[in-house]
Amino acid sequence: MDIRFEEVDFTYQPNTPFEQRALFDLNLTIADGSYTAIVGHTGSGKSTLLQHLNALVKPTKGSVTIGDRKIVPETNNKNLKPIRKKVGIVFQFPEAQLFEETVARDIAFGPKNFGATGEEGAKLAAEMLDLVGLDSSYLERSPFELSGGQMRRVAIAGVLAMEPEVLVLDEPTAGLDPQGRKEMMEMFQHLHEERGMTIILVTHLMDDVANYADHVIVLEQGKIVKAGSPQEVFQEIDWLKEKQLGVPTAASFAEKLMAKGVTFEQLPLTADALADDLLNGLSKAGEDQ
């Protein structure tokens, strides 16, 4: 299911003294089955863009096409549920959305809203809890007695239980410990690879972008300033530094090596790519001697 933005403008509270324009003439396509990363400073319009992806807000100009539904400013607020089922959003700090008495009921809440029966809901809850790495002993516990990290997992399970085709993640690992962060990102990668889920990741962590994404969109003050594969976007390190966006650790280390005279065919973005390049370089140097 493709998502396409055509000349999308968005203004908060139009025609009031608090009017604020957040998106300017956005054109972008998120292809079916892709892993897209959206990066940019705080206040660059990432979260606003994200809310367009499942019609939580409607563009003030232009159109957003989600699958076969076209959302224009005049679109009625009714019958948007099918879109919301297809595009699941994990908001920032999703643990704030938990409310049910038990973990199982909270996870099943989404599916039930979309018409699943109690049994299906319970089955999904057990399945999704396992997927996010918690065992079934948690099913009957209250979500409020869990730790922060566990609550996060339950909340994400609640979104996954809707079995969306597109999964939108707004800084899903913010505030998690390194281990939890890694597990979480690997689980999303797994969903992307095994189930062909389209993933849209909003993040400040360039390492995650380099490691997982196949498409990057850079936003600045509500406009797209760059888009392409991570290789393309991260190629111009100086530009990124100027924009204070940060560079993947591996790339910045590679740059330091380049200053010392090491050459790379292509700037390595991940630790693995960097190690491979260095190893190749070394073995080649060995052969030459």
Query: Which residues of the shown chain bind another protein in the complex (CB under 8 A)?
Result: 12-13, 16-18, 51, 54, 56, 78, 81, 84-85, 87-89, 91-92, 94, 96-99, 109-110, 113-114, 144, 158-159, 162
Sign of CA dihedral 109, 125, 167, 99: positive
Give whichever of 100 and 214 is closer to another protein, judged by the CB atom: 100
CA distance 39 to 218: 5
Q: Residue 124 Cβ, how far from another protein at the closest point, in Å?
A: 13
Q: Is residue 286 left, alpha or beta, with left meaning phi > 0 and alpha meaning psi from -120 to 50?
A: alpha
Report the nearest approach of another protein to the CB of residue 247 (Å). Answer: 31
- Closest approach, Cβ 46 to another protein, in A, equals 14
Please, are residues 125 and 103 in contact by the beta-carbon 8 Å criterion?
yes
Strand order in the sheet with 215-220: 87-90, 166-170, 198-202, 35-40, 215-220, 223-228
Give the shortest CB-78-to-another protein separation in angstroms: 8
Q: Which CB atom, from 18 or from 284, has the smaller least distance to another protein?
A: 18
Nearer to another protein, 5 or 91 (CB): 91
Structural contact between residues 236 and 242, judged by C-beta atoms closer than 8 angstroms: no
CB-based burial label for 102 (10 Å; 0-12, 13-18, 19+): middle
Q: How far is the CB of 209 from another protein (least distance, A)?
A: 23
Cβ distance to another protein smaller for residue 56 or 278: 56
Query: Least CB distance from residue 113 to another protein, whole Å?
Result: 3
CB of 153 to another protein, least distance (A): 16
CB-wise, 96 or 174, nearer to another protein? 96
* DSSP bridge partners of 170: 202
Give me the residues paired with residue 223 across strands: 220
Q: How far apart are CA 17 and CA 42, in angstroms?
A: 23
| CB nearer to another protein: pick between 163 and 207 | 163
DSSP 223: E
Residue among 47 and 231 whose Cβ is closer to another protein: 47
3-state secondary structure 144-193: HHCCHHHHHHHHHHHHHCCCCCEEEEECCCCCCCHHHHHHHHHHHHHHHH
